[in-house]
Amino acid sequence: MNRLHFAPRSNWMNDPNGLIFHRGRYHLYFQCNPIGIDHRNLSWGHASSTDLVHWEEHPVAIPFDGSEEVFSGSIVLDAGNTSGFGTDADPALVAIYTSESTERAHEAQSLAFSTDDGMTWTKYARNPVLDRDSAHFRDPKVIRWENGAESYWVLLAVEAEDRQVVLYRSDDLLTWTHLSSFGPEGAVGGVWECPDLFPLQVAGTQQTRWVLIVSLNPGGIAGGSGTQYFIGEFDGREFTPEERHPETVPDDEGGMLALDWLDYGRDCYAGVTFAGLPDDHRTLIAWMSNWDYARTFPVAPERPSRGRMTLPRRLSLVPAGGRLVLRQEPIAPAVVGIARLEDIEAGETLPTPVPIPAPGSAGRRIEFAVALGDARGFAVRFEAGDRSLELAYDAEAQQLSCDRRGASQGFPEGFASVQRMPVAAAPEIPLALWLDEDSVEIYAEDGTRVLTDLIGDLRAPSMSVRGVGGTVRLVHLTASDVTRADASAAPVAALHQMN
Ligand code: FRU
């Protein structure tokens, strides 16, 4: 089946792990249960791709065993053979993962290495390599710090319950010394997990800033699992955010909105970025679910798998409202245009239907802009049988909402919900949606606001647009169909035939 989002053939999946671009392939390892549909027996599954669109699934890479589950972590290419796992001529890939003890409440960091480009892995005989005698020390991300003559490995991980990112350094990946700790700060309504730290050039300048990503659960902006980010400086030792934020919990709505969130939906968690790409190709993939209900998510009998990933997203740093924010651009399959509308009025009582015929589609991209005129807002509705998804823009609240309550039948408790994302008022509101039968990714304000939600089975929906409190104008709309099978399809030509 063609899908917009990577999902394993079978069994359980959560966080992306060990993302690395190596010798022309993108490797996506992931938390998986090799023998079941539940969050147990955690191991690293493996898929790879040459284009971030078509994924080939491989055998389990790093399996659980009698003494440990293999929790989240990262991979580096040990180019200088600092660890001695490879040779100077043929360096090893080294995975740094969390050993979750099966015998006691204990988490420590361990290594595995691969000398065949990531296909098979050997656990290091002297694991763990970093142990704080903690039950909540996990999710190591290793990066290479290089500054003039100085270069060494930096590991960041979380002390989850303390809401802290802890940083260590090493010359050989085997022995580590503590550098600094960051947090608690910003969102602290849940445990901190899956940190990432990377430099990004500020768009249009020669300046660089460091971005620290921290997932937390619960305590996210949309409820349950969520991801905040901090922009600042890193000097090889310590991360210092440009703006300081007080410790903030979900009860404090204003405080939560003042923080920077990677995504305002409920289903974008544990996102991390690829090693091995140039900084201006910094690319993130996140798990598309939420610990609020992931474990009880319904499973389709014809496809006994739980969990999928978001679209890969290329990251950049851009100015917005006098500060810097992250911008995300999805990397998606080729599309073929199926409908184009221009300059159409949509009233309150007479919604404008949008012709998007493509039953059986693997996914759609729908890009449009609505001019508000004197209306208070607009609503976009997708409907299939008794199921619906409604997006609504409220100009006064400067907010876009995503209401999936009408597409939540048969889903776990708490799934039926409305998510909200700030979107600044403007004469025209442009939005880009990626929609497949069970999820939506919404990109607003040029990708600086993103909302990702799973939805209940919404196959072949109809779409309509209506004004709220007045008549609005659909300035333009382009609906396109995802054609994964045929990447050489000529999207533009197909689009013109429709008109
Ligand atoms: C995040 C997480 C990580 C942990 C992994 C276990 O979703 O809880 O902190 O390493 O999942 O599967």
- Regarding the beta carbon of 141 and ligand 1, being less than 6 Å apart is answered no
- Regarding the beta carbon of 270 and ligand 1, being less than 6 Å apart is answered yes
Catalytic option among 15, 196, 260, 481:
15
Residue 361 sits at the vertex; the CA angle it makes with 359 and 366, to the nearest 5 degrees, is: 100
Residues 87 and 176 in one domain: yes
In whole angstroms, give the CA distance from residue 61 to residue 172: 23
Pocket test residue of 106, 141, 164, 194 for ligand 1, highest count of atoms within 8 A of CB = 194
Q: What is the pLDDT of residues 222-256, one digit of tens each?
A: 999 999 999 999 999 999 999 999 999 999 999 99
- Position in ligand 1 atom list of the atom nearest CA 71: 10
- Regarding the beta carbon of 107 and ligand 1, being less than 6 Å apart is answered no
Residues 223 and 319 in one domain: yes
Q: Of 305, 330, 355, which residue is a domain's last?
A: 330
Domain coverage including residue 363: 335-498
- pLDDT reported for residue 2: 47
Q: What is the pLDDT of residues 18-72, one digit of tens each?
A: 999 999 999 999 999 999 999 999 999 999 999 999 999 999 999 999 999 999 9
Residues 165 and 181 in one domain: yes
Q: Strand, helix or coil at 58?
A: strand
- Is position 32 within any domain? yes
Cα of 39 from ligand 1 centre, angstroms: 10
Residues 319 and 346 in one domain: no
Cα of 456 from ligand 1 centre, angstroms: 25
Residues 48 and 167 in one domain: yes
Q: In CATH, what number is assigned to the domain containing residue 307? A: 2.115.10.20
Residues 284 and 349 in one domain: no
Q: Of 330, 356, 379, which residue is a domain's last?
A: 330
Overall domain count for the chain? 2
Residue among 215, 200, 400 nearest 316 (CA)? 200
| Residue whose CA lies nearest to ligand 1 atom number 12 | 71
Q: In CATH, what number is assigned to the domain containing residue 353? A: 2.60.120.560
Please provide residue 254's backbone torsions phi and psi, each rounded to the nearest 5 degrees. Answer: -65, -40
- pLDDT reported for residue 356: 72
Contact 292, 218 (CB under 8 A): yes
Across the chain, how many H-helices and E-strands are there?
A: 2, 34
Sign for the CA dihedral angle at 182, 183, 186, 189 comes to positive
Contact 481, 325 (CB under 8 A): no
Pocket test residue of 11, 12, 13, 15 for ligand 1, highest count of atoms within 8 A of CB = 15
Residues 17 and 111 in one domain: yes
Residues 6+ apart with CB under 8 A from 35: 11, 41
- pLDDT reported for residue 304: 86
- Is position 25 within any domain? yes
- Is position 358 within any domain? yes
- pLDDT reported for residue 495: 32
Asked if 235 is an active-site residue, the reply is no
Residues 310 and 243 in one domain: yes
Q: What is the pLDDT of residues 150-171, one digit of tens each?
A: 999 999 999 999 999 999 999 9
Residues 347 and 244 in one domain: no
Residues 364 and 289 in one domain: no
Cα of 408 from ligand 1 centre, angstroms: 25
- pLDDT reported for residue 359: 65
- pLDDT reported for residue 492: 33
- Is position 1 within any domain? no
- pLDDT reported for residue 494: 31
Residues 279 and 363 in one domain: no
- Position in ligand 1 atom list of the atom nearest CA 42: 12
Residue 22 sits at the vertex; the CA angle it makes with 20 and 23, to the nearest 5 degrees, is: 165
**Mean pLDDT per 10-residue segment, the chain (499 residues):** 82 98 98 97 98 96 98 98 97 98 98 98 98 98 96 98 98 98 98 98 95 98 98 98 97 98 98 96 98 93 90 97 96 89 88 73 91 96 94 98 95 94 97 94 98 91 93 94 58 31
In whole angstroms, give the CA distance from residue 221 to residue 419: 9
- Position in ligand 1 atom list of the atom nearest CA 225: 7
Residues 53 and 158 in one domain: yes
- Is position 4 within any domain? no
Q: Quick one: 379 exposed, middle or buried, by C-beta within 10 A (0-12, 13-18, 19+)? A: buried
Contact 366, 356 (CB under 8 A): yes
Cα of 168 from ligand 1 centre, angstroms: 20
Cα of 193 from ligand 1 centre, angstroms: 7
Residue among 300, 298, 212, 310 nearest 15 (CA)? 310
- Regarding the beta carbon of 43 and ligand 1, being less than 6 Å apart is answered no
- Is position 5 within any domain? no
Q: Of 330, 346, 366, which residue is a domain's last?
A: 330
- Regarding the beta carbon of 452 and ligand 1, being less than 6 Å apart is answered no
- Is position 2 within any domain? no
Pocket test residue of 139, 141, 309 for ligand 1, highest count of atoms within 8 A of CB = 139
- Regarding the beta carbon of 139 and ligand 1, being less than 6 Å apart is answered yes
The tokens 């972590």 sit on which residue? 73
- Regarding the beta carbon of 31 and ligand 1, being less than 6 Å apart is answered yes
> pTM of the predicted model, to two decimals?
0.95
- Is position 6 within any domain? no
